[in-house]
């Protein structure tokens, strides 16, 4: 009964989210491609790099990066540097919504022992250097419990009131210990997510933001009423292999994933939510061999592959949608590289996209966009 009551309460107060959210949203404009930055805090960032962030991105998320302890202090320092240059930039505090992340030692030390799922998950990993298998115990939050709600909402409050951020980027918010709990427990935890978010909004104040990851089609769409938006992070991660010049033909599953991503972004934007479209150039920082190449080569490859993911974003983008294009989450994975397309006049869309099978077209004031998901081809005519 408790989880049913929690769901009812969340939807009863759902209209309050729309009233709360807009005041704290980042600036949005159709003048150029609206972009977003998200990477791990790096204590070695230069003043010029902070200038770059403050000038070009209305919304930035800092994660822990290579800071191994007290990541909270690093994120706070990064937020302060950006705010000093441009107070209008919204900076989000990255924080896990599913498991404890080790670098956040200041937050983790107050986590209630009874807040974990009783049966931990074991993740098996292979060391790329030695080839040896190791096991990592992952303790998932029990989001059906009040102590977990209070703790997580308290961290969100600190993110805004103590660390100088504008809200929280909740990674894995809709995840929990899959296959670890019974269906009834899972439903209670699902309801608990809503309660946790409402409590966080209350503690952060009327302008505090919560964005979550991931939003995949209808997966986790039920969390939108209690949050301010979401990230679609897996639209095109596997479009290319590292050395391919052309993408391979998509299978039915990847076609569905791309179609659902486009539909999810359009739908969420029309609900007044922020949507981050995380696009990939088809390679990832975990590709150790590729990462040995000079940075200039990686940027060249990313520039050659920008057309399809950017056009896919433009097909579905609405107000408060932002485009992110990097090959990983480090500060050296593309955030500080720029693309000529980002400086071209765009203008507002003249209508929603038109669809014919897996082909989409859309007209903007200064651009015509075409995408073929089945062939993974696209064209944008800028004018």
Q: What is the per-residue pLDDT for 128?
A: 54
Q: What is the per-residue pLDDT for 378?
A: 97
Lowest mean pLDDT among 132-136, 291-295, 308-312: 132-136
Residue 274's nearest CA partner among 314, 227, 309 is: 227
The residues spanned by each domain of the chain are 2-111+144-350
* 244-262 pLDDT tens trace: 656 666 777 788 889 999 9
* 153-173 pLDDT tens trace: 999 999 999 999 999 999 999
* 43-60 pLDDT tens trace: 999 999 999 999 999 999
Q: What is the per-residue pLDDT for 252?
A: 76
CA 51 – CA 41 distance, rounded (Å): 15
Beta-carbon contacts of 173 under 8 Å, excluding residues fewer than 6 positions away, are 97, 98, 193, 197, 212, 213, 220, 223, 227
Could you tell me what percent of the chain has a pLDDT over 90? 74
Apex 123 CA angle, 119 and 128, nearest 5: 165
If you average pLDDT over every residue of the chain, what do you get? Answer: 90
Q: What is the per-residue pLDDT for 129?
A: 57
Q: What is the per-residue pLDDT for 13?
A: 46
CA 51 – CA 55 distance, rounded (Å): 6
* 80-118 pLDDT tens trace: 999 999 999 999 999 999 999 999 999 999 999 899 987
Q: What is the per-residue pLDDT for 247?
A: 62
Q: What is the per-residue pLDDT for 320?
A: 98
Q: What is the per-residue pLDDT for 249?
A: 65
List the CATH code of the domain at 2-111+144-350. Answer: 3.20.20
pTM, full prediction? 0.91
- Could you tell me the pLDDT band of residue 126, with boundaries at 50, 70 and 90? low
Residue 242 confidence (pLDDT) above 80: no
Q: Average pLDDT in the 12-40 region?
A: 78
Q: How far is CA 136 from CA 130, 145, 179, in A?
A: 17, 24, 17
Q: What is the per-residue pLDDT for 314?
A: 98
Q: What is the per-residue pLDDT for 139?
A: 82
CB atoms within 10 A of CB 12: 9
- Could you tell me the pLDDT band of residue 17, with boundaries at 50, 70 and 90? very low
Q: What is the per-residue pLDDT for 239?
A: 57
Residue 347 confidence (pLDDT) above 50: yes
CA dihedral sign of residues 296, 301, 307, 311: negative
């Amino acid at each position: 009964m408790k989880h049913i009551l929690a769901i009812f309460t969340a939807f009863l107060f759902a209209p309050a989210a729309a009233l709360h959210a807009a005041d704290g949203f980042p600036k949005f404009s159709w003048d150029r491609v609206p972009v977003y930055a998200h990477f791990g805090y790096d204590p070695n960032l230069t003043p010029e790099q902070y200038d770059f962030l403050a000038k070009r991105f209305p919304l930035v998320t800092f994660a822990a990066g290579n800071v191994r302890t007290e990541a909270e202090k690093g994120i706070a320092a990064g937020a302060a540097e950006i705010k000093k240059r441009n107070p209008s930039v919204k900076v989000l505090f990255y924080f896990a919504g599913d498991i404890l992340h080790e670098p956040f030692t200041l937050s983790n030390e107050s986590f209630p022992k009874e807040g974990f799922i009783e049966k931990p998950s074991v993740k098996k990993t292979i060391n790329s250097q030695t080839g040896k298998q190791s096991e990592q115990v992952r303790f998932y939050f029990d989001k059906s419990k009040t102590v977990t709600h209070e703790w997580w909402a308290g961290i969100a409050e600190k993110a805004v009131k103590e660390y100088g951020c504008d809200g929280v980027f909740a990674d894995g918010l809709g995840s929990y210990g899959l296959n670890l709990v019974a269906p009834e427990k899972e439903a209670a935890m699902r309801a608990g997510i809503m309660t946790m978010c409402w409590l966080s909004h209350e503690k952060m104040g009327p302008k505090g933001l919560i964005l979550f990851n991931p939003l995949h089609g209808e997966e986790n769409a039920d969390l939108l009423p209690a949050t301010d938006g979401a990230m679609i992070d897996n639209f095109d991660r596997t479009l290319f292999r590292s050395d391919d010049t052309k993408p391979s033909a998509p299978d039915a599953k990847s076609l569905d994933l791309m179609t659902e991503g486009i539909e999810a972004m359009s739908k969420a934007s029309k609900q007044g939510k922020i949507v981050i479209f995380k696009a990939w150039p088809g390679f990832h920082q975990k590709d150790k061999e590729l990462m040995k190449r000079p940075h200039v080569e990686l940027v060249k490859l990313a520039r050659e592959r920008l057309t399809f993911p950017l056009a896919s974003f433009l097909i579905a983008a609405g107000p408060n949608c932002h485009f992110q294009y990097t090959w990983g989450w480090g500060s050296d994975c593309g955030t500080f590289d720029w693309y000529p397309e980002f400086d071209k006049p765009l203008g507002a869309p003249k209508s929603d996209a038109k669809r014919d099978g897996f082909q989409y077209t859309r007209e903007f004031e200064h651009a015509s966009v075409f995408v073929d998901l089945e062939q993974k081809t696209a064209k944008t005519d800028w004018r």
